[in-house]
Structure 1
Amino acid sequence: MINNKFDDDLDELLNDINSAMDQPQKNPVSYQIYQPLANQNQQQKRKCLSPQIGNQSQLRICSNLRCIKCDLQVKCHINKKWNKDVDYLIFRNYFNNMSMLSKYLTEDNQFNAYNCQCTNVNALESISAPQNWVCSGHTI
């Protein structure tokens, strides 16, 4: 008797569910892909296709580089050059410590010194940025 009561309750519940599923919904749920609205106040960014680095006399250098290896912004030290004794561990350990990094920079008006946490470059003339550095965009 108990099993029959349970079976009857289960059948009734399943019938209620089936009838609810057969009826069309009055307000169907619609899913939309989120797309941010274009705001006229929001400035668009333009990216360099092949970013260049160099000293400040060149006009085609990119001033907003980001490293895709260490995911950090590339720093530019204007009119400075990296010493020969600087190595990977210096940048790895002291990337945000400018007082320690400045010990490895020398004044030179012809160069700009660039670095992220994993790469460093001295640029005398306009050259292509290392492959792991990409343009983060410039406001138009």
Structure 2
Amino acid sequence: MTSQKVRCENLLNCVAKVPEDEKISVPKPKQPISSVSEDIDALLEELREEDPRPKTELCPKGSQVEKKLPPQSAGRKCCPVYVGGSSVTNGVGTATSKRSCDQLRCISCDFKVLMFDDCEWDPSCDYLFLRNNMPDREKLRTKLKKRRSLRAYACQCSWFSTLEPTDLRDQPQLKWQEEQNDGAAEEEEEDEENNSRSGRALGIVGSLQLLPPVCPEEN
């Protein structure tokens, strides 16, 4: 027992004499996983707050709606029909609101009237050129000149350039009329059918009135 005690005391003295920089350091226990995860979340949150880029929301596939230009009001017609330059608003024209009609069709060649903003027809444009190139817009542009605020119109047999609102009644060479939309066509067919029914009903009533009165039989 005495020898063992002496050995322990010697060992303790040796350890005490070891320099501080040569002592074996015992590693500290690792940080818990939960604490590391919390630190990562906090760092990501700070990065999000410091990011100057605006946040954008991704639209799911199939949710995008195709944008279409609104047509002229169904059931309403231009009266009178105007054509005008590129600065003139398109829509249903009236005597007080001179809007340019953008739903025109030629009753002579049965072609839809095309429009070219900020352009006018070159003097060399002629009937044969339109006949061969209508309705190819790229080919038609070879006879167009850039002209601010003007608008060039053309079908397969006629062409016209204007700046101010122009009443088509003052241009008898242009056989252009407002193209009837589906809603107006359905209303017109319905009116014709109602008128036809009313005519038949009036005819039946008239024929009944022409019949001689029926006298009661005598007993």
Interval containing the TM-score (normalised by the shorter chain):
0.5 to 0.7
Aligned residues: 98
When the two structures are superposed, what TM-score results if normalisation uses the length of structure 1? 0.63
Candidates 165, 179, 193, aligned match of 1:126: 165
Supply the distance in 2 between the matched residues of 1:45 and 1:82 (Cα, whole angstroms): 33
Q: CA deviation at 1:109?
A: 1.1
Three-state SS of the structure 1 residue aligned to 2:151 is strand
**What value does the CA root-mean-square deviation take over the aligned residues?**
2.1
User: Do 1:47 and 1:136's aligned partners in 2 also have CA atoms closer than 8 Å?
Assistant: no
When the two structures are superposed, what TM-score results if normalisation uses the length of structure 2? 0.41
Larger Rg: 2
Superposed CA deviations along residues 10-48 of structure 1, whole A, max 9, x for unmatched, are xxxxxxxxxxxxxxxxxxxxxxxxxxxxxxxxx833221
Which residue number in structure 2 is paired with residue 33 of structure 1? none
Which residue number in structure 2 is paired with residue 62 of structure 1? 101
Which residue number in structure 2 is paired with residue 9 of structure 1? none
Unaligned runs of 5+ in 1: 1-42
User: Do 1:48 and 1:137's aligned partners in 2 also have CA atoms closer than 8 Å?
Assistant: no
Structure whose residues are more often strand by fraction:
1
Unaligned runs of 5+ in 2: 1-72, 90-98, 185-219
Q: Does 1:101 align with 2:101?
A: no
Q: Does 1:51 align with 2:107?
A: no
Q: Percent identity?
A: 31
Alignment CA distance shift 1:69-1:99 (3 Å): same
Q: Does 1:87 align with 2:126?
A: yes
Candidates 151, 159, 166, aligned match of 1:112: 151
Structure whose residues are more often helix by fraction:
2
Which residue number in structure 2 is paired with residue 5 of structure 1? none
